Chain A
Amino acid sequence: MSAKLIVQGLTHHYPDEYTGETVHALDAIDLKVEEGELVTVVGPSGCGKSTLLNILAGLLPYEAGAVSVDGVPIRGPGSDRGVVFQEHAILPWRTVTRNIGHGLEIKNVPKHVREPKVQAFVDLVGLTGFEGKYPHELSGGMKQRCAVARTLCADPAIMLMDEPFAAVDAQTRITLQEELNRIAIATKKTIMFITHSVDEAAFLGDRCFVFSARPGKIKTIVDIDIPRERRNWNDMNADSVFLAARARILKLVREEVADVVEE
């Protein structure tokens, strides 16, 4: 295994838009994500986890440190780093198929090559039969499946996910988590998954980075050593490794929230 994503000493300060005061978002972050690994990032609100993701996506410039994917330093957005946003990010004027194929369209992949690939991803995320629908005709869960498929179809080196399931209902969320696990097995993608949910972080992550409150730092890395094939919610609720990991992450996150409240 080789490191897909390397972050060294990443620091990000920015002036607050209204007050002009300096906000310390990230403080000397060091992390590595191995090829084919799914890491989760949890932390209290405002701990800079979304800032980290935006920097990795190339949507935010960073001040100090080094960030590279496959050894190539990050400068601006690029199709080697796919992003699944929280919500409302698939284009309303494109059908499911045309949203999913957008990345290939951008790369000028000819239609006869594009179509079978797109169909494979439509099938992978379970949107078969909805190819010609527009986003407003889909449920929240289906929209996010479409967003995941769109990102995967562009074949990025790493998929960055920014609380992608936060806006869907609890039942759908559990299903989507299990489906993402299945997709991770099927595609062997390297994935960084940001979430508020401790359950989600423990269920999906091979490792979980717990962030401290602002300025964002990695407080602890929790290993969750459960084979992907065994991860489903029926079994996990009685799995001692999972329960222990979840309890540990929850404790770490709550310490941070308590600190913030006491301030």
Chain B
Amino acid sequence: MSYVAKPGGASSTKRAPKPSLLSREGLHIFLARWRHSGFAYVFNILLTVVIALTIWSLISSLITNPGRYLPSPFVVALSSVDVFYKGLLPAYYGNTLTRLVLGSILGLSLGVPFGLLLGLNRTVSDMFYPIMNFFQSVSGIAIFPIIMIWWGNSEKTVFIVILYTCFFPIAFNALSGVRGVPLTYVNAALTLGASPFQVVKDVLLPGAMPNIATGTRLGIGFAWRAVIAGEMLVGREGLGWMIFTARSADLTAQIILGMVTIGVTWIILDHYLLRPFERSTIEKWGLVLR
């Protein structure tokens, strides 16, 4: 005997008539459906953006000489047409993204295995834990001066700093992730006949994934800041450089355009790269609650 109602069966004829939208219940049903539709989500975000832009425009229209202090969104948009047309923004954007992507990929592919390896042995990981914690707290911008003494105003300097900022949070988090994997999981795999390599692959790596995800998010986030700062300090062509030079030319609209580009890029990165990765791993496995 099945309890599932069949279409056209007895239960469907018994269903109450659809309440009118004007009734109290009808309104509640409408609101509940609206809240859970994807449309409401997009609408709310758009609403926030519109409000922010309105406040921005308002302030811009109230101050004297907005062109120098705070150009309106419209003026910023116009300036973007200009830098796009000249090919400046696409070229600089390309430079900056290339640095970020290469630095992050290298940082991940070195940081994760390094952290995992250190985490394998309790004594070794105890020894390295404070050192890794130390380096993940010394920000990229703080090591710039010494790197510049070593390698000068070069592309190498920018790249080393990006790699540094990205590597340590990733390695440190992978290390603490491995330390946190319950011993029972390891024992379970061992009693199924797993080799040390299989334990790493099937137990420690996925078990450390919540921390690796955190480390990745922090590492790439820090790297994104380091790229911009690095370009300014070292003077390499890119988004950071564009903002920096726009200041001396009094191109405030271009500065704001650069800032907006930085922020929007991160949102896109987060939405299309980091979140899907987290959703398909740690959230699907029930290791984090969201």
Contacts and interface: CB of A to CB of B under 8 A. Distances in A.
A81 B191 contact: yes
A33 interface: no
Identify which of B193, B285, B286 gathers the most chain A CB atoms within 10 Å of its CB. B193
Contact of A78 (B193, B203, B206): B193
A89 B184 contact: yes
Nearest to B195: A106
Smallest CB-CB A-B distances: 3 pairs: A136-B286, A79-B193, A77-B190
14 contacts: A57-B191, A59-B187, A79-B192, A82-B191, A82-B192, A83-B188, A83-B191, A85-B187, A90-B188, A92-B286, A106-B192, A136-B285, A151-B191, A154-B193
B287 A92 contact: yes
A23 interface: no
A88 interface: yes
Given A92-B287, A136-B285, A103 B187 contact: no
Interface string A179-213: 00000000000000000000000000000000000
Majority-rule SS of A interface residues: loop
A82 to B, nearest CB: 6
A89 B182 CA distance: 9
A92 B198 CA distance: 16
A69 to B, nearest CB: 13
B63 to A, nearest CB: 54
Contacts of A88: 182, 184
Contact of B202 (A83, A102, A107, A154): A102
Contacts of B191: 57-59, 77-79, 81-83, 151
Interface of B: 182, 184-185, 187-195, 198, 202-203, 206-207, 209, 281, 284-287
Given A103-B193, A107-B193, A93 B187 contact: no
Contact of B187 (A78, A83, A90, A92): A83
B286 A134 contact: yes
B188 A85 contact: yes
A247 interface: no
A150 interface: yes
Contacts of B202: 91, 102, 106
Contacts of B206: 91, 93
A9 B190 CA distance: 26
Contacts of B207: 93
B194 A93 contact: no
Given A79-B192, A93-B285, 9 more contacts: A59-B190, A77-B190, A79-B193, A81-B191, A83-B191, A91-B206, A93-B209, A151-B192, A154-B193
Contacts of A91: 185, 188-189, 202-203, 206
A137 interface: yes
Using C-beta atoms within 8 Å of the partner chain, give the interface range for chain A. Answer: 20 to 34
Contacts of B281: 93
Given A102-B202, A106-B198, A136-B285, A89 B192 contact: no
A127 to B, nearest CB: 17
B193 A134 contact: no
B176 to A, nearest CB: 18
Contacts of B286: 92, 134-137
Contacts of A83: 187-188, 191
A187 to B, nearest CB: 17
A103 B206 CA distance: 17
Interface in A120-143: 134-137
Nearest to B192: A103
Contact of B192 (A102, A134, A137): A102
Nearest to A80: B193
A150 B188 CA distance: 10
A102 B189 contact: yes
A93 to B, nearest CB: 4
A90 B203 CA distance: 10
Interface in A64-112: 77-79, 81-83, 85, 88-93, 102-103, 106-107
B126 to A, nearest CB: 15
Nearest to A147: B188
A263 B255 CA distance: 79
Interface string A36-79: 00000000000000000000011100000000000000000111
Identify which of B192, B198, B287 gathers the most chain A CB atoms within 10 Å of its CB. B192
Nearest to A135: B286
Contact of A150 (B187, B192, B195, B198): B192
Nearest to B282: A93
A51 to B, nearest CB: 14
B196 to A, nearest CB: 11
A150 B281 CA distance: 22
